[in-house]
């Protein structure tokens, strides 16, 4: 995706998050938090010139949907194999080049959030104030780092 698309998605997800109760709506709140944070990481990677900002959407590591499919394809997109594009989750796919410290910090914040993905949304881990607070704190750190990255000159 392109940076503005990532930012628009973050804004829409933040609007959703504001309407959800993290306790009562934990799974929706969590997934919207994780997806918004991943979009923040992708926007920062594009801004730093590490990954391409393009109309290519990941479906699994190494497989991206790009414009140019036939009208019978999903909205005119076709799958292609690409070495690098948007990440689906931090580390999927791995970034094969050095990543600046501020982007590493964003990725660490996302790892803190993603730590809870399986035990809280697929398992039976108890959702409590520590889980919610930890995810929220890591997410806010990710957004602050994105703001800092975007205020710097692009690579």
Q: Which phi and psi (to 5°) does residue 96 adopt?
A: -85, 5
Q: In the predicted model, what is the mean pLDDT of the chain?
A: 91
Asked if 40 and 150 touch (Cβ cutoff 8 Å), the reply is no
Taking only the tens place, the pLDDT of each residue in 24-41 is: 999 999 999 999 999 999
Asked if 154 and 46 touch (Cβ cutoff 8 Å), the reply is no
Segments making up each domain of the chain, as ranges: 3-55+92-151
How many CB atoms sit inside 10 A of residue 27's CB?
12
Taking only the tens place, the pLDDT of each residue in 118-150 is: 888 888 889 999 999 999 999 999 999 999 999
Could you give the CA distance from residue 11 to residue 8 in angstroms, rounded to a whole number? 5
The sign of the torsion formed by the CA atoms of 124, 130, 134, 137 equals positive
pTM, entire model: 0.91
Tell me what pLDDT residue 119 has. 82
**pLDDT winner (highest mean) among 76-80, 82-86, 111-115:** 111-115
Domain spanning 3-55+92-151, CATH class: mainly alpha
Judge whether residue 71 has pLDDT over 80: no
């Amino acid at each position: 995706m392109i940076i503005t698309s990532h930012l628009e998605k973050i804004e829409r997800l933040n609007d959703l998050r504001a309407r959800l109760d993290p306790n009562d709506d934990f799974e929706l709140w969590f997934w919207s938090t994780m997806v918004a944070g991943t979009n923040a990481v992708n926007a920062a990677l594009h801004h730093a010139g590490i990954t391409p900002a393009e109309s290519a959407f990941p479906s699994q590591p190494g497989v991206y949907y790009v414009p140019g499919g036939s009208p019978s394809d999903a909205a005119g997109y076709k799958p292609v194999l690409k070495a690098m594009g948007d990440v689906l989750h931090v580390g999927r796919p791995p970034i094969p080049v050095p990543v600046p410290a501020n982007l590493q910090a964003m990725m660490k914040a996302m790892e803190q959030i993603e730590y809870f993905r399986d035990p809280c949304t697929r398992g039976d881990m108890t959702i409590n104030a520590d889980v919610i607070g930890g995810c929220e704190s890591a997410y806010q750190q990710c957004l602050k780092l994105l703001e800092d990255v975007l205020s710097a000159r692009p690579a």
